[in-house]
Structure 1
């Protein structure tokens, strides 16, 4: 079982438009609503693969009820933490050329009582978990050290932690030594405090993040593939994508694929790459099912292309 923790979930509305014109009336070609938040998306991808998952998340107001209903309909066990505030609603505008514009609401502020209940709910459901995936931003009320506290408590109970967050919460959590962290290129650059122009730059940054406390680093480089750095070595994985329909949740699908395949080694990286590549071909934040995966198109190698320039360098 993979347990996910999403401190700041959302109700996500995705509109596909031909082109986004500022100041004009833009008519959507399609509309869809999905339960959102990085950990929620990991649960959705795990469930799509036919694996058991439990999603721990604070829920409040009408959007919270809607999120719970949508997750239940997808076969995901929900461990809700009732809160007084309303769950946030986010909007994504996906243009025909693959450009995505996201508007993310800040979310409600959790009271001290709600914060403690959230931690207790994680503890209650962690006993049966193979992995605990803690993902996303922290809502108001939670200190930047909150993820570090979760990592410490989880390790005390014998659980493995995968962490996908950024900024100060990531840096604080690294001191507690999470088993794996999954930054994207921008988050990786932010963690080491410098720009990344090549795959080699990203590899060096990932190695430094390991030195800060991460057991392993699974870094998403967008169109430039993924790298995995752990005790046993480093690998580079990629897969061709002809057209990007939406990259919402692609990183979350990547982490789900990695954990589904065991959470370590080149085979897990290959599964992560297959899931990420499949996710960008799907609308909105739809998570890929096994039929969407093209494992044969994935390449994983220990020969990392260090000099390869990133298509989207991070400054």
Structure 2
């Protein structure tokens, strides 16, 4: 199976608080705390390994949490390429209620710090580290770019990153939001994976098919849109070009699972990367099952392969239209 080089441009020290119920404006008793190295790309790397493939996490790290971050990856057995930077690693705090409240519906509340900006030399070092990890067998490598981008990231940086990875021979899958999603498409990313709200925000188009067509028109080779319990839909350019995209597959779980959905999208990203030569029906089914398996875990970046295999039997797929 494919080796995955998972870049987290803006990593975070993830802290998960579990509470009985989230009551805004009240003092809450925390029932348990988990703190670990995180960020979407780190989550992808961990889930890739749980699915049986090799991965390396690439992260810019600096500040007082850089040491604990690297130590946590090492303790977990997660191979990593660390790029030292001046700015401090941010924190991301998820508050997960055991009981649904009127305001949160049982969903976690996540507080994301912005993270540090990278100067030109630091960004260049990060790109070089990713390219170096592509290695000597580029046909068997998928490079993923996941999560928020550092403050001040420009179109030129994103286009240069995607271009450098593709020039090295990697297939490039991108899961970012805002303008970065459009820039990745313009750079010719092999796959972009927004959720529905991110797709609408980035393109300004309300209809998912037309919005996916906009990203295909700009240069993306495939678009996979996640939509919560509705599952995943994959689009490629249709016979008349990207303006009328073709649905090449859909997958969803027959019945939703309850739990912590914080890392579900990252789990889907990992599943899409591990075997990109499989038909869309296979890839989307694995992504739907892996995403659901992540919801069952208390923290992001974890799945139980037994859960994935069990949930695969409950995935509903639709062939290409």
Cα contact 1:126–1:159 (8 A) shared by 2: yes
Q: TM-score, normalised by structure 2?
A: 0.88
Aligned residue number for residue 7 of structure 1: 9
Cα contact 1:240–1:277 (8 A) shared by 2: no
Cα contact 2:182–2:203 (8 A) shared by 1: no
Cα contact 1:45–1:287 (8 A) shared by 2: yes
CA distance in 1, matches of 2:39, 2:156: 19
| Distance 1:246-1:145 versus aligned 2 partners, 3 A rule | farther
C-alpha displacement of 1:233: 5.0
CA distance in 2, matches of 1:187, 1:233: 19
Aligned residue number for residue 134 of structure 1: 145
Aligned residue number for residue 269 of structure 1: 284
Alignment of 1:11-22 (within 5 A): 11-22=13-24
Aligned residue number for residue 39 of structure 1: 41
| Aligned residue pair count | 299
- The counterpart of 2:208, out of the listed 162, 184, 202, is 202
Offset from partner CA, 1:41-73 (integer Å, 9 cap, x none): 100101122321111110112312222122222
CA distance in 2, matches of 1:208, 1:143: 20
C-alpha displacement of 1:289: 2.8
| Distance 1:78-1:286 versus aligned 2 partners, 3 A rule | closer
| Distance 1:166-1:158 versus aligned 2 partners, 3 A rule | same
Alignment of 1:180-259 (within 5 A): 180-195=191-206, 201-230=207-236, 233-259=247-273
**Structure 1 unaligned regions, length at least 5:** 196-200, 305-315
Cα contact 1:191–1:209 (8 A) shared by 2: no
Aligned residue number for residue 116 of structure 1: 124
- The counterpart of 1:86, out of the listed 85, 88, 94, is 88
Offset from partner CA, 1:171-211 (integer Å, 9 cap, x none): 1221111000000011111133133xxxxx32332233222
C-alpha displacement of 1:141: 4.4
Q: State yes or no: 1:107 paired with 2:106.
A: no
Q: TM-score, normalised by structure 1?
A: 0.89
Alignment of 1:279-298 (within 5 A): 279-293=294-308, 294-298=311-315
Aligned residue number for residue 175 of structure 1: 186
Q: Report SS of the residue matched to 1:29.
A: strand
C-alpha displacement of 1:74: 2.2
| Distance 1:187-1:239 versus aligned 2 partners, 3 A rule | same
Offset from partner CA, 1:107-146 (integer Å, 9 cap, x none): 1122222112111111211124510001111113432432
Q: Report SS of the residue matched to 1:288.
A: coil
| Distance 1:286-1:57 versus aligned 2 partners, 3 A rule | closer
Runs ≥4 residues deviating over 6 A: none
**Structure 2 unaligned regions, length at least 5:** 101-105, 238-245
Offset from partner CA, 1:52-108 (integer Å, 9 cap, x none): 111111011231222212222222111000112211111011122231111000111
C-alpha displacement of 1:290: 1.1
C-alpha displacement of 1:167: 1.0
Q: Report SS of the residue matched to 1:61.
A: coil
Q: Greater CA deviation, 68-77 or 82-91?
A: 68-77
Q: Greater CA deviation, 108-117 or 236-245?
A: 236-245
CA distance in 1, matches of 2:24, 2:298: 23
Q: State yes or no: 1:299 paired with 2:316.
A: yes
